[in-house]
Amino acid sequence: MKTIELQINGAAHEVSIEADETLLQVLRNRLDLIGTKKGCDSGGCGCCSVQVDGKVVYSCMMYAAGAAGKAITTIEGLGDGGTTLDPLQQAFIDAGAVQCGYCTCGMIMNASELLATTKNPDEDQIRHAIAGNLCRCTGYTKIVDAIKLAATRIAGRAMESPE
Amino acid sequence: MSLIGTSPQRPDAFDKVTGGKGFPVNVKLPGMLHAKLLRSPYPHARILRIDTSAAEKLPGVKAVLVPSEVPKRKYTPVYFVPAAAGSMVQDMLIMSDTVRFAGQPVAAVAATSLRIAEQAIELIEVDYEELPTVFDPEEAMQPGAPQLHEHAANNVAVNPVMGFGDLDKGFAEADHIFEGVYSSHRVHTCYMEPRVCIVDCDRQGNYTVHSSTQHLFGVREKLAYALEIPESKVRVIKAPYIGGGFGGKLDIGYIEPVAALLSRKTGRPVRIEQTRHEDFISTARHPIKVYLKTGVKKDGTFTARHARSILDTGAHATHGAEVINVHGVFGLLMTYRCPNSKWEGYTVYTNNMIGGGYRGYGSPQACFAAESQIDEICEQLKLDPIEFRRKNAWHAGEPHPMVPGVTLDSYAFDECLQSGAERIGWSQRKKADSGSGTKKRGMGFACQPLWVSGCVGFPDIYEHSGAIIKLNVDGTADLAIATMDIGSGQTTTLCQIAAEELGLPMEAVRMVQNSDTTTVPVDAPTHASRATYSAGNAVQAAARTVRERLLKVAGIMLDINPEQLAVANGRVSVKADPKRSLSVAEVVTRAESPFVQHGKNGPAPTTLEEKGTIIGVSSLAPKSNPSPVSVEFVEVEVDTETGQVQVLRVVYAHDLGKLIHRNGAEGQVEGGFQQGMGYALMENLLFDPVSGSCLAGDFLDYKMPTAVEMPRDIQSIFIESNEPSGPFGAKSLSEPCITVPAPAIANAIYNAIGVRIRELPITPEKILAALGKL
């Protein structure tokens, strides 16, 4: 066991881990951040997507030790932690992009990176961005709709309050 | 009606976008152990010796389980039938000393951590005597093939034969006879949440179970049966959410009984979560080979059909004993009118993995055969494929061809055909292979003319549902029901049905979380396209009882006959004088109040009739089994250089009786298409032909459609035929949308390039080979 410090959603967490524990295992099993889901544990489904320094990673494919000193964002870090949601979370609700919900958090974390780097992405950009996140319920139609809706709302807000 | 057909927000959506706490995979109990199964590397073997001594010595190991310790009663793990159902085959043991597929559990370990459990199973020594194997069901049926089970001669587990009319006469009357062999492969449901369970056995032998399941009461019944204990000893907790099922969580796995036995040994809760690889070898749609022979008149009228279906059920019969019947009856025998028909089904044991339930339940395999062949007939006889189907179709008002005593009260096949054809622009369809260039486009369609809304009328299958609805003093309602929400929105639609019937806003009705088998009425599974219809009927019945009592109390309060009252938007009002009204909260508060209340004018007694919680309970089977209809048109583009097929446009037309939740219904159909397209073009759960081990045990090797491969344009037309026996006119939707894509795509590919592929999946290699380019 060794002790590392992880910066998660803006807070520091000191955690004792085995050297080969993945970020996913530490988030779920040691820190109870259960919004990050395990779908395959082999980098194939995207349910465990989180952001590390603003980039989406499959947390099942990253050693926790490798994330030390980096800014980790999980689904619990979106919105204000209360009833105010991130525009993507709200759009997923409004567009009906949630069915069983197991892929949802990873999908939102992935889309969140896209919208942070690409204003008003077109449909091709959205579909390619989420191609690493599998969903078996929706056929992706309403997920794509939700990401478009969030992008439009974010752009609208930017228009209202130009910096 | 205010709520029906709209798209109110899903009650579970907020939690699911912020973390999704309510999945069984998140359940953690104090003192919980983690268990791991040791699985056989051999597909057919006898266990000679198991030595667990080294594993037992590993610090942290709390218990080891081997086959000699499990109960010896054989069972069928399928949830929706009685454990000893006569139509099923009882051939399962929790653990056996005979291995019949690669991956069968042969031992298990419970330890204080998953890491220790994983290390411990590596320390278990097993000596196997390898036995001869057979992986092809038709080879397995030959004399001299290895026999997998003593009870099954030629490895045939069940062999249903059904038919009517005079087959010889029918073929003699035919102007043309068509024959084809259509084969399908093994695919996985790919629920995203792994199968997981936590079982906690107390010192008096009471088991509390959390499980990723499609059927609360199925877990109770099958676990109790396998453990040879009374059902009352098993309490199953309803998870608020299940991360997908699609039929893949319709049977008790190895994990629940093994966890139960390990918990009994240790006195601690035991958790088992399957790896994705374990999930892939736990359940799959059965490969079925269909030999289909059809006689038609010149004008396209069916005169005779004969089908023979060979189903590879793998090591155990389980679902294969029922899938074969659904496949034959709802896929081949009864979909269209044909006076002389015969079908023979063979559910055959092999050393492959055990097949399971999967949305459509035998029908996708049949629909591919039947709807492909109809297009072949039309192409050769130059008949209009829409007119051909219409000519042979059933009609509203006719007796249900399969379910005795049931009439097709609502049935809008014609409207589905017509509206779908108009929307896709069917009149623009060109002749087969008439395009130029290397990329060619084509249109095709397929139908699922007959399907179910639950299982009323079928032998050995549970069908009833029950609900409890209770009003609260703040004007809200709690709905408790065992129906599992596996993602397809049962919580939403059932709350919506309750809200509509109670005259409450959607957000005032809440689904009770974590109810369990001791607190809610018995319910059949979330399967067979039944939840909206059957559970919806139960919810509506409970809500009617609640409403009746609500109006009775309000009538006393307003001093008026309850029949003159109505409830809407959370208020009870006098129909003739809507200004005279009370909020539901006021009425419930009165019913729940003390007998004498102190008010401004001193103590005032209420009446006994007003007193008591306003509650409604139902438990019933639906009156009918109405058929939904699904018709799907697709346009594809085939690259004749690479063999790649891209689906460009999809138009579905469904007769679903009545739309309850529009957005949810669209989502069902769009997701159904993804599964259907994956089945048609790319998904394939491959196994090594020698070792029998799975070659596609993760999502890198098992290719399911991503957002990139999916068509941009999927349209849903909903035809509302208003089923009289359904809640607000609804029947079902979930499954027919997954049966039609494979034949629709196959027919569109034929239209594009003039090549007929009769073997799924339709890969680029098969297309290039058929074009003579490989």
Q: Say how many domains are in chain A.
A: 2
Q: How high is the pLDDT of residue B235?
A: 98
Q: Which of A16, A50, A77 is the last residue of a domain?
A: A77
Domain residue limits at A15: 2-77
Decide: B89 and B321 in contact? Cβ < 8 Å.
yes
Interhelix angle B216-227/B255-266, rounded to 10 degrees, is 60
- Inform me whether the C-beta atom of residue B12 falls under 8 Å from chain A C-beta atoms: yes
Shared fold status for B13-131+192-244+249-280 and B465-620: no
Q: Which of A21, A42, A77 is the last residue of a domain?
A: A77
Nearest to B192 among A92, A100, A142 (CB): A100
Q: What is the pLDDT of residues B220-249, one digit of tens each?
A: 999 999 999 999 999 999 999 999 999 999
Interchain contact, A141 vs B698, CB within 8 Å: no
Confidence of residue B1 (pLDDT cuts 50, 70, 90): low
CA distances from B505 to A74, A90, B495, B496 (A): 34, 21, 10, 9
- Inform me whether the C-beta atom of residue A132 falls under 8 Å from chain B C-beta atoms: yes
Average pLDDT over residues B623-641: 97
CATH number corresponding to B393-453+624-774: 3.30.365.10
Any domain includes A10: yes
DSSP three-state, residue B574: strand
Alpha helices in B382-486 (DSSP H): 385-391, 413-424
Decide: B505 and B594 in contact? Cβ < 8 Å.
no
Chain B closest CA to A130's CA: distance in Å? 7
Q: CA–CA separation, B645 vs A141, rounded Å? A: 19
- Which residues sit opposite B237 in a β-bridge? B210, B516
Is the domain of A93 the same as that of A66?
A: no
Assess whether pLDDT exceeds 60 at residue A163. no
Chain B closest CA to A55's CA: distance in Å? 19
CATH number corresponding to B465-620: 3.30.365.10
Q: H or E stretch including B250?
A: none
Say what the ipTM of the complex is: 0.98
Q: Which of A54, A77, A100 is the last residue of a domain?
A: A77
Nearest to A75 among B18, B192, B243 (CB): B18
Is the domain of A147 the same as that of A95?
A: yes
Q: CA–CA separation, B450 vs B210, rounded Å? A: 36
Mean pLDDT score across all residues of chain B: 97
Q: CA–CA separation, B429 vs B636, rounded Å? A: 12
- Inform me whether the C-beta atom of residue B488 falls under 8 Å from chain A C-beta atoms: yes
The CATH number assigned to the domain holding A132 equals 1.10.150.120
Enumerate residues 623 to 662 of chain B having a beta carbon within 8 A of any beta carbon in chain A: none
Any domain includes A61: yes
Any domain includes A163: no
Partners of residue A25 in chain B, C-beta under 8 Å = none
- Inform me whether the C-beta atom of residue A125 falls under 8 Å from chain B C-beta atoms: no
Q: What is the pLDDT of residues B270-324, one digit of tens each?
A: 999 999 999 999 999 999 999 999 999 999 999 999 999 999 999 999 999 999 9
Is the domain of A145 the same as that of A95?
A: yes
Pick the residue from chain A with its C-alpha nearest to B670. Answer: A139
Which one, of B73, B104, B117, lies nearest residue B262 by Cα? Answer: B117
Partners of residue B243 in chain A, C-beta under 8 Å = 37, 100-102
Q: Which two tokens stand for residue B240?
A: 């608020």
Assess whether pLDDT exceeds 90 at residue A81. no
Any domain includes A103: yes
Chain B closest CA to A110's CA: distance in Å? 13
Nearest to A35 among B19, B667, B698 (CB): B19
Is the domain of A8 the same as that of A45?
A: yes
Assess whether pLDDT exceeds 80 at residue A160. no
Enumerate residues 90 to 119 of chain A having a beta carbon within 8 A of any beta carbon in chain B: 90, 92-94, 96, 98-105, 108
Is the domain of A10 the same as that of A73?
A: yes
Is the domain of A46 the same as that of A72?
A: yes
Q: CA–CA separation, B602 vs B579, rounded Å? A: 27
Q: CA–CA separation, B635 vs B745, rounded Å? A: 8
B212 class by beta-carbon count within 10 Å (0-12 exposed, 13-18 middle, 19+ buried)? buried
Any domain includes A48: yes
Q: What is the pLDDT of residues B587-625, one digit of tens each?
A: 999 999 998 888 888 888 888 999 999 999 999 999 999
Q: CA–CA separation, B558 vs B578, rounded Å? A: 12
Taken in order B229, B231, B232, B236, is the CA torsion positive or negative? positive
Enumerate residues 143 to 202 of chain B having a beta carbon within 8 A of any beta carbon in chain A: 189-194
Q: How high is the pLDDT of residue B274?
A: 98
Mutate to test the interface with A, among B18, B273, B662 (most CBs of A within 10 A): B18
- Inform me whether the C-beta atom of residue A146 falls under 8 Å from chain B C-beta atoms: no
- Inform me whether the C-beta atom of residue B32 falls under 8 Å from chain A C-beta atoms: no
Confidence of residue B507 (pLDDT cuts 50, 70, 90): very high
Is the domain of A67 the same as that of A17?
A: yes
Nearest to B243 among A35, A94, A100 (CB): A100
Q: How high is the pLDDT of residue A78?
A: 97
- Inform me whether the C-beta atom of residue A31 falls under 8 Å from chain B C-beta atoms: no
Alpha helices in B503-624 (DSSP H): 536-558, 584-592
Is the domain of A72 the same as that of A92?
A: no
Q: CA–CA separation, B510 vs B479, rounded Å? A: 6
Q: How high is the pLDDT of residue B427?
A: 97
Average pLDDT over residues B5-13: 97
CA dihedral defined by B190, B193, B194, B200, rounded to 10 degrees? -150
Mutate to test the interface with A, among B192, B249, B704 (most CBs of A within 10 A): B192
- Inform me whether the C-beta atom of residue B16 falls under 8 Å from chain A C-beta atoms: yes
- Inform me whether the C-beta atom of residue B486 falls under 8 Å from chain A C-beta atoms: yes
Interchain contact, B707 vs A142, CB within 8 Å: no
B13-131+192-244+249-280 belongs to CATH 3.90.1170.50: yes
Beta strands at B33-39 and B270-273: parallel, antiparallel or unpaired: parallel
Partners of residue A90 in chain B, C-beta under 8 Å = 17
Partners of residue B244 in chain A, C-beta under 8 Å = 100, 102, 136-137
Which residue type does B227 have?
L
Domain locations in chain B as residue ranges? 13-131+192-244+249-280, 393-453+624-774, 465-620
Q: Give me the phi and psi of B720, to 5 degrees please.
A: -105, 100
Any domain includes A20: yes
Average pLDDT over residues B362-376: 98
Q: What is the pLDDT of residues B711-740, one digit of tens each?
A: 999 999 999 999 999 999 999 999 999 999
Enumerate residues 83 to 122 of chain B having a beta carbon within 8 A of any beta carbon in chain A: 115
- Inform me whether the C-beta atom of residue B710 falls under 8 Å from chain A C-beta atoms: yes
Is the domain of A96 the same as that of A152?
A: yes
Chain B closest CA to A159's CA: distance in Å? 26
DSSP assignment of B164-196 equals ES-HHHHHHH-SEEEEEEEE---B----SSPPE
Confidence of residue A162 (pLDDT cuts 50, 70, 90): low
Assess whether pLDDT exceeds 80 at residue B442. yes
Q: Give me the phi and psi of B231, to 5 degrees please.
A: -60, -30
Q: How high is the pLDDT of residue B417?
A: 98
- Inform me whether the C-beta atom of residue B713 falls under 8 Å from chain A C-beta atoms: no
Chain A closest CA to B365's CA: distance in Å? 20
